[in-house]
Amino acid sequence: MKLQDRVAVVTGSSSGIGRGIAIEFAREGAKVVVADRQEAPKRGKYYDTDLTTSTAEEIQKLGHECLFVQTDVSNDQQVVELIDKASGHFGSLDILVNNAGIHIPGDSQSMSLAEWDQVTAVNYRAVFVASKYAIPHLKESAAGRIINISSIHSVRGGGGPAYPGSKAAVVNLSRDLAVELGKHGVTVNAICPGMVETAIQDYLTVEQIQECTQKNLLPRIGKPRDIGRACVFFASDDAEWITGTSLIVDGGWLANIM
C-alpha cells in the first residue's frame, strides 16, 4: 500500500471529490480525517443521487481507521481545531488535502459582495489557514504533503467572477508554499479537475453537461476516483521529488479548446 499508516486530513470529504480522495487514501492504507460541515453525503439531482453511507462508514468497510471532524473551513477557529484534533487523535499528520470548495453562479452584476466574499473565503482563504496550522506538523513528518484542489477554471475564464479567481489563487499559493517548504522536505502541489460527477453540478442543465462531455477527448465525465488516484500519486513516495506544480485532470477538455 502506498500510504500505509500515514495520517491524512481531507477537507470537504463527506461528498463529491473529497469523498473520492478520502476513500482512495484509505484503500492505500492511510488513516483519514474526514472534515466537512456535515457527515451525511450530499445528494445531487444528476450525480450521487442515492448515497446513504458516510465517507467514514465506507472507509471503515475497508478496514481502516477514520475520524470525522465537523468543520466549516470558512471559520478559522474550526480549522485550527480540526488540525489539533487530527494530530492529537492519530499522534501525527502527514498529508493535508485542501479540497473544500463552493461555487455560486452569477456574473459581476448579479453576484453580491457577500457571495463573492463567501466563495473566496472557502476556496482560497481556508486553504491558507489550514496550511498555516498544518505546516508545523507536516515539517515533522518524513513524508509531509499538501495537495490543493484547484480547477481547470484557474487557467481560463468562465464560472463567474469569484470561482476562477479563487482557484487561480490556489495554484499560485501552492507554488509559493512549495518554495517555502522545500527545504523542510514538504511537497506542495495542486490538482485542477475538469467536470466531475458530483452534486456541485446541480446548477447546470442536462444540455450543458452533455456539451461538456462531448468536448472531452476522453468521452465521459470525470469521477471522484479519478481525482482521488491523482491525489494518491502526489501523496505517495512516487512523487517525493515533485513540488510546486499543478496537474490538470480533465479528460482532455482543456487540450480540446485551447
Question: Mind telling me the catalytic residues?
Answer: 163
Over the Cα atoms of the chain, what is R_g?
A: 17
SS3 category, 27: helix
Angle at which helices 16-27 and 224-235 cross, to 10°? 50
SS3 category, 146: strand
H or E segment to which residue 249 belongs: strand 246-249
User: What is the distance between the alpha carbons of residues 131 and 138, in angstroms, rounded to a whole number?
Assistant: 9
CB 24 within 8 A of CB 230: no
CA 252 to chain centre: 20
